[in-house]
Structure 1
Amino acid sequence: MTTGTEQRERFPRALEPGYFRPDDLTFEQRVDMTARLAEQLRFIDLDDQEDGDWRGLFATDPTLVMAGIAALDPWPLQQQFGREADSAPLEHLARQVLGLAARLDHWWRALAGIHDDAPRVLRERIQQLVEQQLAADLRWVERRFLRRGDEAAAGRPTGPVERELSRMWHRTIGEEPAADAAAEREDRERLRERFFAFLSAVEEVRRLARELLPDSIATANHEPAAALLIAFLKVCETAQREVNRFPARHTAFYYRDCLGFGPAPSRADRVHLACQRDLRTPGELTLPAGTAFEAGKDAAGRPVRFVSEAPITVTDTRVATLCTLRLERDPLIAPERDLHYVTRAKVARPVADGRTVWPLFGAAGGAGAEDARIGLALASPLLALREGDREIRLILRQTSSGAAPDLRGLRDAVLRADSAESFRDAFGDLLPQWLLADGAEGPPANASNTSDTSSTSSTSSTSSMGGTGSPGRIGSTASTSSAGDDRSKSGPGSGGSSGVDVHVDDLSEADWTALRDAARRQTGNGLPTLFNGPGRPHRALIFDRLLQGAFRVSLSTPSGWHTVEARLERAPGAGLSLFIRLRADAPPITGCDPAVHGAEWPTRLPVLRLELATQARLYPYSLLARLPLAEVDLRVKVRGVRDVRLSNNLGRLDPSKAFAPFGPLPGLSSYLVVGSPEAARKTLDRLSLDLEWGGLPNEPGGFDTHYRGYAGPAGRELRQGQFSVEIAWLRDGQWQDCANRSARQPLFAGTDAAGELIATQHIELDPGSVRKLSRATEEDWSTMPMPRNGLCRLQLSGPRAAFGHAAYPVELGATVAANARTRRPRPLPHPPYTPVIERLSLNYEAASVIALDRDDDPPEGADGERLFHLHPFGLQTLRSAVSGGGHGLLPRLGADGNLYLGLSASDPGGVLTLLFQLRESSARGPLNGARPRALQWWTLADDDWRPLPPNRVLGDTTHGGLTSGIVTLDLPRDMSTTHTVMPAGLYWLRLSASTDFDGFGGLVSVRTQGLRLRRELPGDATAP
Structure 2
Amino acid sequence: ELTTEDGRWHPFGNRTVDGTDNTWQIDLPRAEIGFALASNYLYLTQGERVAELKFAGSGLAALSGKTFKLFLTTEEGWYETTVTVDQSPVDNRYRLQWTIDGDQPAIVPYDAAVHGGTFATPYPLLKAQLVQTDSPDYAYQALKNITLQSFDLTVVVTGKRNMALSSSTGPLDASKPFHPFGAAPEDGAVFTLGDKEIFQKSATISLNISWKAELDYSDFYHAHSSGRHPKTKYRELRKGAWALDNDLNILPGAGEAVETPIILGTDALIAPDFSDNSPFTSADTAGFLRFRLYGDWGHSNYPRSLAYYAKQGGSLPKLLYDPQILDFSVNYTASQHISLNNAAAYASEHARFFHLHPFGEAERAPGSGTVRLLPELVPQSVISTPEGPVNNVGKDGGEWYIGVEDLAPPQELSLFIQLAPGTADPLLAKPEAHVKWWYLSQNNWVPFENNDLADGTRQLLQSGLIRFSVPRGANTDNTLMPAGKTWLRATVETAVDAVNQIVGVHAQGTIATQVMESTDPALGAVALPAGTITKLRQPIGNIKKFEQPYATFGSSAREEAEAFYTRISERLRHKQRAITQWDYERILLQAFPQIHKIKCLNHLRFEPATPTPIYRELAPGHVTIIGVSDVRNQNGVDPLRPYLSLADLESMEDTLRGLTSCFVRLHLRNPIFEPVLASFKVRLFPGYDETFYEQLLNEEIIRFMSPWAFP
Shorter-chain TM-score: what band? Answer: 0.5 to 0.7
State the distance in 2 between where 1:724 and 1:748 align.
10
Partner of 1:358: 9
Residue 763 to residue 570, structure 1, CA distance change in 2 (3 Å) = closer
**Aligned residue type for 2:373:** L
**Aligned residue type for 2:378:** G
Partner of 1:750: 254
| Selected match of 1:687 from 200, 205, 208 | 205
Partner of 1:809: 303
SS at match of 2:446: strand
CA shift, 1:872, in A, is 0.8
Partner of 1:725: 232
| Selected match of 1:794 from 291, 294, 299 | 291
CA shift, 1:556, in A, is 0.8
Question: Quick check: 1:550–1:613 contact (8 Å CA) kept in 2?
Answer: yes
Partner of 1:1018: 517
Moved more, 634-643 or 994-1003: 994-1003
SS at match of 1:382: helix
1:373-772 map, 5 Å: 373-398=32-57, 432=59, 435=61, 547-570=64-87, 576-615=94-133, 619-680=138-199, 682-694=200-212, 696=213, 703-707=216-220, 723-739=230-246, 743-751=247-255, 761-762=257-258, 764-767=260-263, 770-771=265-266
**Aligned residue type for 2:122:** R
CA shift, 1:926, in A, is 4.9
Residue 980 to residue 859, structure 1, CA distance change in 2 (3 Å) = same
SS at match of 1:812: helix
SS at match of 1:1013: coil
Moved more, 571-580 or 841-850: 571-580
SS at match of 2:343: coil
**Aligned residue type for 1:578:** L
Which structure has greater strand proportion?
2
Question: Quick check: 1:738–1:766 contact (8 Å CA) kept in 2?
Answer: no
1:731-759 Cα shifts (integer Å, max 9, x gaps): 112111244xxx141411423xxxxxx7x
Question: Quick check: 2:167–2:190 contact (8 Å CA) kept in 1?
Answer: yes
Question: Quick check: 2:117–2:360 contact (8 Å CA) kept in 1?
Answer: no
1:922-961 map, 5 Å: 922-926=423-427, 931=431, 934-956=434-456, 958-961=457-460
| Selected match of 2:500 from 991, 995, 1001 | 1001
Question: Quick check: 1:690–1:763 contact (8 Å CA) kept in 2?
Answer: no
SS at match of 1:745: coil
Residue 803 to residue 955, structure 1, CA distance change in 2 (3 Å) = same
State the distance in 1 between where 2:274 and 2:145 align.
41
1:87-98 map, 5 Å: none
1:318-367 Cα shifts (integer Å, max 9, x gaps): xxxxxxxxxxxxxxxxxxxxxxxxxxxxxxx779x995222221225699
Residue 1020 to residue 1010, structure 1, CA distance change in 2 (3 Å) = same
Residue 931 to residue 378, structure 1, CA distance change in 2 (3 Å) = closer
**Aligned residue type for 1:762:** V
State the distance in 2 between where 1:777 and 1:935 align.
47
State the distance in 1 between where 2:444 and 2:102 align.
42
**Aligned residue type for 1:865:** A
| Selected match of 1:891 from 375, 378, 384 | 375
**Aligned residue type for 1:745:** N
Quick check: 1:837 aligned with 2:325?
yes
Quick check: 1:865 aligned with 2:351?
yes
Question: Quick check: 1:902–1:989 contact (8 Å CA) kept in 2?
Answer: yes
1:274-285 map, 5 Å: none
Quick check: 1:988 aligned with 2:487?
yes
**Aligned residue type for 1:849:** H
> Which structure: larger Rg?
1
Residue 793 to residue 942, structure 1, CA distance change in 2 (3 Å) = same
SS at match of 1:750: coil
Quick check: 1:855 aligned with 2:350?
no
Partner of 1:237: none
SS at match of 1:630: strand
Question: Quick check: 2:44–2:197 contact (8 Å CA) kept in 1?
Answer: yes
Question: Quick check: 2:236–2:287 contact (8 Å CA) kept in 1?
Answer: yes
State the distance in 1 between where 2:130 and 2:514 align.
54
CA shift, 1:983, in A, is 1.2
SS at match of 1:1010: coil
State the distance in 1 between where 2:459 and 2:361 align.
30
Quick check: 1:785 aligned with 2:281?
yes
Partner of 1:98: none
CA shift, 1:885, in A, is 1.6
CA shift, 1:943, in A, is 1.1
CA shift, 1:964, in A, is 2.4
Residue 930 to residue 599, structure 1, CA distance change in 2 (3 Å) = closer
State the distance in 2 between where 1:811 and 1:737 align.
36
SS at match of 2:185: coil
Unaligned 5+ runs, structure 1: 1-348, 399-404, 406-431, 436-542, 752-757, 820-824
TM-score, with length taken from structure 1: 0.45
SS at match of 1:982: coil
**Aligned residue type for 1:835:** P
Question: Quick check: 2:164–2:279 contact (8 Å CA) kept in 1?
Answer: no
SS at match of 1:1016: coil
Partner of 1:130: none
CA shift, 1:728, in A, is 0.7
Tell me the number of residue pairs that the alignment of Structure 1 and Structure 2 aligns.
Answer: 494
1:64-103 map, 5 Å: none
State the distance in 1 between where 2:279 and 2:515 align.
80
1:241-320 map, 5 Å: none
Quick check: 1:878 aligned with 2:364?
yes
Question: Quick check: 1:646–1:673 contact (8 Å CA) kept in 2?
Answer: yes
**Aligned residue type for 1:379:** A
**Aligned residue type for 1:735:** W
CA shift, 1:784, in A, is 7.7
Question: Quick check: 1:397–1:629 contact (8 Å CA) kept in 2?
Answer: yes
SS at match of 1:1015: coil
1:900-919 map, 5 Å: 900-919=401-420
Partner of 2:591: none
Partner of 1:372: 31
Question: Quick check: 1:603–1:864 contact (8 Å CA) kept in 2?
Answer: no
Partner of 2:567: none
SS at match of 1:622: helix
State the distance in 2 between where 1:355 and 1:646 align.
70
SS at match of 1:623: helix
**Aligned residue type for 1:785:** T
1:795-852 Cα shifts (integer Å, max 9, x gaps): 1124xxx112123234334445554xxxxx64x2222112111221122222222222
CA shift, 1:633, in A, is 1.9
State the distance in 2 between where 1:593 and 1:910 align.
35
- What's the % identity of the aligned pairs? 28
TM-score, with length taken from structure 2: 0.63
SS at match of 1:621: helix
State the distance in 1 between where 2:51 and 2:513 align.
68
State the distance in 2 between where 1:930 and 1:565 align.
43
Residue 796 to residue 891, structure 1, CA distance change in 2 (3 Å) = same
State the distance in 2 between where 1:967 and 1:378 align.
39
**Aligned residue type for 2:14:** A
State the distance in 2 between where 1:996 and 1:731 align.
63
Partner of 2:622: none
CA shift, 1:623, in A, is 2.2
State the distance in 2 between where 1:857 and 1:1018 align.
74
Question: Quick check: 1:857–1:880 contact (8 Å CA) kept in 2?
Answer: no
